[in-house]
Structures are given as C-alpha cells and as structure tokens.
Structure 1
Amino acid sequence: MRVEYISDRLEQILITLGDASEPLTSAQLAEKVKVSARTIKKDVSELNAILKDYDAVIHARTGVGYKLSVNDEFLYNQFLTELKRRELRTAQTVPKYRYERVNYIVKKLLTVDYYLTIEDLVDELYISRSTLTADLKEVREIFKDYNLELTSRPNYGILLVGEEIAKRLCIAEYFFHANISTGYFAADNAMFVSSTNQDEIRFVRDLLEEIMEKYSIHMSDQSLQNFVIHIIIAIRRWKFYNYVKVEDENGKVRQQSLIREWPAARELVERLQTKLEILLPQEEILYFALHFKSKHITQLDEITSEEIEQVEKTLYDIYRMLQKRFGVIAINKDRYEEYLRMHIPAMVARLRSGLVMRNPMIYDFLNKYLFSTHITMMISDILEQNFSVRMNKNEFAYLVLYTNLLFSTESRTHNGKILVVCGRGRPETITLINEINENHAALAGSIEICDVSELENHDLHQAELILSTVPLEASYAVPYIYMDGRLSYGEQIQQSIKHNRLSFRKLRQYFSPRYFNGSLKGSVRDEVFREVAKGFDNWKEILAMFWEAEHILSHETTKGVVFLHTLKPLPESFIYVGFLKKPIIWNKLWAQAVIFVNINDDLDSLRLGYDFISEMINDPREPFSGKLTDYDSLIEVLSKN
C-alpha cells in the first residue's frame, strides 16, 4: 500500500490542507512544515500521485494557493484509515513491561475498527503467544469496566465491540487521562501541542462557556475541561463516521427528562455542525445533553420527591448496616445527609449514562483515607443494589470523602484503662485531674491515677498502659511511657494512646501465621489474587469477591503496598500480610506487599487497624520497604515500630 511511503512531512501537508477552510499558499505551507516553497511544489506533486488512487486531488491556482478536493468521501476515508493504522504501527516504541503492553493493546484496539490477528500482535510486540494470552486477559478486564468486549473470530482475530459512548469514555481515560500528573486542562495535554489544536480547544471552550451561561448550567472548571476533551474526541470520531447510536424509544424517554440540557446540547451540535461543515445524527444531541446533565452541579431544589425518597431509604440502609455490623448509632449525620441528598441523584444519573465525573485526585483520596475507603466499599454495595447501578472508581473516590466526613467528628473514647503515675505529690495529681476534666473529658473515664509510692502494690490487671511523670526503674508487664514534660499531660496521654506499640498490642490478635505469606507468587493481578485466596477454605468464592471489588477500586497501591477489599465481610477477623517474591506493576504502580484487613469485632478496632497500617507504611523507617519472608520477622518489625 503506497500509504506506507508517505513521509511525516507529506502527511503534515495533507492534514493541514484538510483542516483549512480556505486555499493555502506555498509560502504558508512552507512556513508550517519548515521547508522551502519549491519543496512544497514537489511534495504536492508527490501527494497527488498517491491521492489519485483515492479519488482526491490537491488543486493549485496561481495567486490563490492549494486546495484539497475530495470526490469520493468513502474512498478518501479509507485512505485516512490506512494513515491511522500506519501511525499506530510507527508512533510508539515496543512496550517492555506487561502494564506497558496492556496499555498499548488497549489503545490499539480503541483506535482501529478492524480485526487484529494474534500473529500480528505477537510479532509486533516481540512476545510469545502465551504471554499475549495473559496480557489479553488483563485487557478484557479493563474493557469490562466500560462494558466493552473483545470478540474473537477464527482466521480473523480479535475486535473491540460495544457502544460508541463507552469507547469514547475509554479513549478519554487511556489517551488523555492516563497520567494524572499532567493535570486536567485540555490545553496542557501532550496530544494537543499544535497551534491548530490549541485554536480548536479555545473555540470549543468558549462555545461551551457561552452555552452554559445562556442555559444556566453550572459546572466546575475541572468538569468543563473534561467536557472539552470529550467534544474533541467526538470530533475525531465523526471523521470516521463513528456516531452514538440510541434506540428511538430510549432516546425519547431520556430527552423528556433533559428539560434544560437538551436545548443546550442541540445548540452545541448546531454550532459544531456549522463550524465543521458536517451533518450529525440526533443521537449526538442526546450524548452531549447527558454530558451537561452529568457535569451540572445539582442544587437541592432540582431534586425530585422520588429521588429524595430513594436517598432517604439508602441512608436508612447505610445506618442499619453500620449498626448491625459495628453497633454504631451516634455518628455525624447532619452534614453527611445534606451532601448525599444532593450528590446521590446526580451520581446515579451519571452511572446510568456512563458519563461519570472523573476524579483526578482519586489515588490521593484512597491512600489518605484507608479506613473510610473500607467502609465506602460496603456503602457502595448498598447503592448498587438500591439504584441498580454499577459503581465507578472515580465516583467511589468522592463517596470516600463523604464517608470520612461521616466519622470525622465522632467522639472516640478509649476503652482500656490507662494508669497515670504521679511522682511529685498531691498538687501535681490535682493539676493533672483538672486538666483532663477541663480539656480531655472523653479520656477521663479511661484514666486511673496513683502515686509512685503506691505503684508496687497497685493491681495492674486492668491496665493496658502506664504513663508516669517520673522515670520508673522497675519493669512491668504493661507497656510503660515516661511523660517528659515537653507536652501537656492531656496531650501526652492522647499521643501515647496512638503510639504504635500500644496499637499493635490491641491488634496483635488479628495477626497470625495463617494469614501471612512471605513468598507470594504472581506477575499479574489474577495470579496474586489466586495466591492470596488459596489461604482461605472457600478460596474460589474469595477470588470472585476480589474481582467483584476490582471494578470499584482497582486495589491500587500506596508506597508499594496493595490493599485488597471485598464488598462483603468475611466471617473471621484478621489482618493478612503478604510479600511478593518479585515486585510487579499493579495496574499502573509498583507493588511489593499485599494487605487485606477484615475486622468485624467493632468499628474502633477496624479503624485502629487501618490507622496502624497507615502509620507503618508512612513511617520514615519504611518497615514495609523490605521483604519479610517469615512471620516472626513481621511481628518483630510491627511490635518495635
């Protein structure tokens, strides 16, 4: 195919002429591609020799310039498709790691609209057939999150099938949002570096802002930028006749519910049609109306009574679940309910349309609020059942913030007894009692005070910590901390309660040799899931639960540690710790340790478990940075930190 011999310069000239609404002079083209005007004339002649096979030609008019003319749009688009295929073959280097290969295959399947043979992929990636089979398993799991499917056909290969909306969402994620460090502004994206693209971005953004103001649609700047990207993706897809398809009846029902968004989307499509000189099907209006709906900041007066009723039932189910599992009744409900009443209806609409609200801070939220992430898994299960939706990890991350709000101001009392030893007589004892009563009332019931002279005969069976205002020479079975006076008594006591050694004493029962593996095998997620699940009697059920939770959270890593989750708790309480024989890429980040927290006894123990693990993985001494191969080494490390 002669397309293979088109140089990058010839392709740039062709694209420039294709995008131009008016003829371009040789000087203008020469400036664009950084060559002489004489070279442009030679290049145009060479291009015409190729375009003749596709019923297209570049006309040259003296004093006017060059103009691309296409007689057969279908044939010419076949030519552009061949160009696109060539770009995909040459633009990227051969992936080295599995996660790079998986991303490469995902992007390739999203870009082409024809079957890819296994043999071609094997040759292209320089891997074995068995390696490709393992990679495709990961690829299928990724596409499953977007309701896309890989179909196989004998003697033809594999093809990505699914709704156009789903493909556009996946394109946005893997071509534009794969690296969250680049930010969310469309103009900053590496794929939009040319001046032509920058002009296009400005036009789309200005048009959106104008329409939003006209129809009183409010959205965050982040959502606006995301919408710009989706419009530009749509424009690219239209060039190859990839349009949104919706069954008539479903389209009519949706249109009736988009009172404000439909006219806004209709005007957006009309303005784009005029700008691009194309004609679009009505389904594209629905597509953009759903974007307006999903990104619009909902106000309380915009929520229907039916939606409020569903939210109230969901709130009741959440509280019932927390009470049944953990005995929690008194929690910070007011602000939590206020926000969820506005958030849930809009979130459900986004999940149903597939146009979820992207969260660029997703991993920061999940890594920072480990305990709230665990509780949100259970809340998500309730939401999925009550609204018949499938949760998305971006929406999940926002729910984590609300869950953290729910528990952030809950009073947390200390259940164990703390023995405070005073060594400076009655005045010091009275001072300490007054300070605790006035400033730390929640601790008062947990504290017992005695003089240092009485300590030898004091009953220590109920005490789990000794704090002393003077150094103690004798040793005791109970952990002991000297209060050196650098902090107030109350502050020292609170800090001591959070001390890792004390926390580990409470959590020690959840660590056992059965739930430790110092040599986990596996080079991909599925293999690691299997290895962890095999430590349980009902391992097949556990394996299915890991994958069930994967669609929400992707079990992402923080500092090389993967946290596993299940939507429903397991009967036994434990903290599972495993170390991989070799670090692997877990989705996008490196992982070397696996942790699975499942504590059902009470909410304080569950929270303490996550807080303890969080402190451990963020400890400057990095206790999880190495590989612990035996259980005793793990316990020694945990008890010393």
Structure 2
Amino acid sequence: MKLLETKKPITSEYLSRLLGVSSRTIRNDIKELKEEIKDKAMEIITLPGVGYFIKFVGGDKGKDVIKEVLDDDNYVIPSMPEERVRHIIKRLLYADCFITLEELATELYVSKSTIVNDVDAAEEWLLKHNLKLFRKPNYGIKISGSEMNLRFAISDFINEQNNKLTLFDVSSFEEMFKDISLDKIKNIIIEAQKDMDYELCSVSFSNLLIHIAIAIKRIKQKKTISVPDDIFENMKKSKEYVVAQSIVNSIEKDFNVNMPAGEAIYITMHLLGAKPFEDINLGLGDIRSIIGDKLINVVKR
C-alpha cells in the first residue's frame, strides 16, 4: 500500500525501518511480490541506488482504481477465469459508456492479453441473450442491442448469481439496487395480487420484483422500452394489463418516476408468463387473445 501512496521510489532501507524488518527481508519480499504479480496489470520496478516503485497499466487512472479496490474491505478481486468473465459481464451490463480493455486489466490485476480472452467469453454470454459487443478503436467496448433484451439479460445475470430465490428475502438483490427500495416494490406486488385470479409463486414473484427494479433503474437513466403496436393492442385486452397498470401507478407515486406506456406492457408480459395455465380445455382462441396471431404463427413455423 505504501508503494501505491507515494509518487517517488522508496528504498529498501526506508521500508525496513517502517516495517521493523531487515533490508534483506524487504528485498526478498519484493522479489516474491514481483513473481506474484507477474502478468498482472502492474509491475514493481527496481532502480539500483534509487528504490522501488509500481508501474501501472492505465497510468494514474489504473493506480486510482487499485487504491479504491484495496480500500474496500468487502471487495474480493476475481481470480478464476469464470469469475473475471462474470465481472466483465456485470461491468458491461451496467455501463452507460465505453470501457477500455486497459481499465478492465487494471481492475482485475491481469494482462491485456488475458482480458482479451475473458472479453471473448463474455461476448459469448451476451450473444446468447441477443446482445452484441460493439468495439470502437481508441474508445473501448460496450453492449449493443434492444433495451428489452438488455433488461432480460440483467435479470438473468442476477438470477444466475442468486440461486435461492425466496418470496420475502430481497437482501441478495440489494447490492445491485442500492438506490431503490426493494421492500416498496415487494409491497406494491403483494397489494396488486389482490386483484389477480391467482397468486404468484416464489420464483415468479422474485423475477417480477427484479424486473420492476431494473425498469425503475433504467428509466432513471432515461432508458425506456418500445413495444410494437400489435403486441400492445393484444396485451391491453388481458386482465393482467389492468393489474400491470395498477402497479405502474403505484411505482410512479412511490418512486417519483414517469413510466411510459411500454413499461405497463413490460410488466404485463411477466404477469402472463407467471400465469398458471391449468385449464386443459384452454383453446387456441384463448391463447390467441393473449399472445396474438404473430407469435402463434412463429411457433407454428
């Protein structure tokens, strides 16, 4: 940490006095540290007769990132490849601007060549969620795709991180939504269920809660979804749309946000997806009234 704090090289004699050990011990420790951070995003430079200093990938910006990480007692640096890939996916899903490979290398203490491989793996995950990775020389990388697909991807990412979804425990989601009261959303859903013909199961309840939290967060960032007119008209005919509209009204009141018309459809989709189709006599006409001819034709093909 001392090497991070200083702008000048530090001698082994100074470090030995500071730490209460011999200069020889300092030299041996530095030697081990050099090996430990080999191929990482920083390097310990030794200048004979001058001292030691750290060289960072990303310059002073990289130094600031590492200091911030070291100051956070709860932060655990991802070390395994799959952990780094998850970190990169999360950074991309929540970024509003380009992210450089140098930034990622600095955050994860790895070389740029390692980051390139990790980013390729992250891109495979994004492609499975109908999203693409846009690369721009001298700017970096960012996600490209529809707002709807991005929200579903964020939801899947959260669910993959939290295997145990319970109806009243929202603690596992709180880190993602620090500026949003998940308890308020939970109470809004509980109240809305009184107007439904069925009760949401635990997983469906948690999924809806996550999706609403994502919607609020994205709307605050001026990111909204658009819904094709034919889907909009079909959804408006369902009972779930009335419930969704009630949820929207409560969200606007409790969170002081303006939710565009498409957001009610977004919630309706989740309510319909959670609806238990137990009636064995459910006919094609009933299904058509809910999802419309367009989707039925796609399924038939």
With normalisation by structure 2, the TM-score equals 0.64
DSSP-derived class of the 2:181 partner: helix
Which one of the candidate residues 212, 237, 244 is aligned to 1:231? 212
**Correspondence for 1:82:** none
DSSP-derived class of the 2:141 partner: strand
Is residue 2:132 matched to residue 1:149? Answer: yes
Q: CA deviation at 1:135?
A: 1.3
CA distance in 2, matches of 1:153, 1:254: 40
Q: Is the 8 A contact 1:255 1:286 kept in 2?
A: yes
**Correspondence for 1:525:** none
**Correspondence for 2:114:** 131
Q: Is the 8 A contact 1:177 1:184 kept in 2?
A: no
CA offset digits 1:182-204 (Å, max 9, x no partner): 444462533438xx98x933332
CA distance in 1, matches of 2:232, 2:165: 37
Q: CA deviation at 1:250?
A: 4.0
Which one of the candidate residues 203, 209, 220 is aligned to 1:222? 203
- Structure 1 pair 159/242, CA: closer, same or farther in 2 (3 Å)? same
Q: CA deviation at 1:273?
A: 0.6
- Structure 1 pair 107/213, CA: closer, same or farther in 2 (3 Å)? same
What percent identity do the matched residue pairs reach? 24
1:518-597 correspondence to structure 2 within 5 Å: none
- Structure 1 pair 111/219, CA: closer, same or farther in 2 (3 Å)? same
CA offset digits 1:580-624 (Å, max 9, x no partner): xxxxxxxxxxxxxxxxxxxxxxxxxxxxxxxxxxxxxxxxxxxxx
Is residue 2:105 matched to residue 1:122? Answer: yes
Q: CA deviation at 1:144?
A: 1.4
**Correspondence for 1:158:** 141
CA offset digits 1:616-639 (Å, max 9, x no partner): xxxxxxxxxxxxxxxxxxxxxxxx
Q: CA deviation at 1:234?
A: 1.9
DSSP-derived class of the 1:245 partner: coil
**Correspondence for 2:89:** 106
1:339-488 correspondence to structure 2 within 5 Å: 386-387=299-300
**Correspondence for 2:232:** 252
Say which structure, 1 or 2, has more relative contact order (CA 8 Å, 6+ apart): 2
Counterpart code for 2:169: A
CA distance in 1, matches of 2:244, 2:280: 22
CA distance in 2, matches of 1:283, 1:296: 20
Q: CA deviation at 1:252?
A: 3.0
DSSP-derived class of the 2:182 partner: helix
**Correspondence for 1:485:** none
With normalisation by structure 1, the TM-score equals 0.32
Q: CA deviation at 1:97?
A: 0.8
- Structure 1 pair 278/386, CA: closer, same or farther in 2 (3 Å)? closer
CA distance in 2, matches of 1:130, 1:216: 55
CA distance in 2, matches of 1:263, 1:292: 11
Q: Is the 8 A contact 2:252 2:259 kept in 1?
A: yes
Which one of the candidate residues 270, 274, 287 is aligned to 2:253? 274
Q: Is the 8 A contact 2:162 2:172 kept in 1?
A: no
Counterpart code for 1:93: V
DSSP-derived class of the 1:227 partner: helix
DSSP-derived class of the 1:93 partner: coil
CA offset digits 1:232-291 (Å, max 9, x no partner): 2222222212222224x24434434x4111111111101111112221111101100111
Which one of the candidate residues 243, 252, 262 is aligned to 1:283? 262
DSSP-derived class of the 2:259 partner: coil
- Unaligned 5+ segments in structure 2 are 1-64
Q: Is the 8 A contact 1:186 1:229 kept in 2?
A: no
Is residue 2:170 matched to residue 1:174? Answer: no
CA offset digits 1:167-196 (Å, max 9, x no partner): 22222232354141x444462533438xx9
Q: CA deviation at 1:306?
A: 5.5
Is residue 2:189 matched to residue 1:189? Answer: no
Q: Is the 8 A contact 2:165 2:203 kept in 1?
A: no
Q: Is the 8 A contact 1:273 1:279 kept in 2?
A: yes
Q: Is the 8 A contact 2:135 2:141 kept in 1?
A: yes
**Correspondence for 2:184:** 203
Counterpart code for 1:221: S
- Structure 1 pair 306/292, CA: closer, same or farther in 2 (3 Å)? same
Q: CA deviation at 1:112?
A: 0.8
**Structure holding more strand per residue:** 1
Q: CA deviation at 1:166?
A: 2.1
CA offset digits 1:344-395 (Å, max 9, x no partner): xx9xx6xx99xxxxxxxxxxxxxxxxxxxxxxxxxxxxxxx9546xxxxxxx
- Structure 1 pair 191/210, CA: closer, same or farther in 2 (3 Å)? closer
Counterpart code for 1:240: Q
Q: CA deviation at 1:302?
A: 7.6
CA distance in 2, matches of 1:113, 1:229: 20
CA distance in 2, matches of 1:188, 1:284: 22
- Unaligned 5+ segments in structure 1 are 1-85, 311-345, 354-384, 389-641
What is the root-mean-square deviation in Å for CA atoms of aligned residues? 3.4
Which one of the candidate residues 262, 275, 282 is aligned to 1:303? 282
- Structure 1 pair 128/161, CA: closer, same or farther in 2 (3 Å)? same
Q: Is the 8 A contact 1:218 1:297 kept in 2?
A: no
**Correspondence for 1:212:** 193
Q: Is the 8 A contact 1:186 1:226 kept in 2?
A: no
- Structure 1 pair 254/186, CA: closer, same or farther in 2 (3 Å)? farther
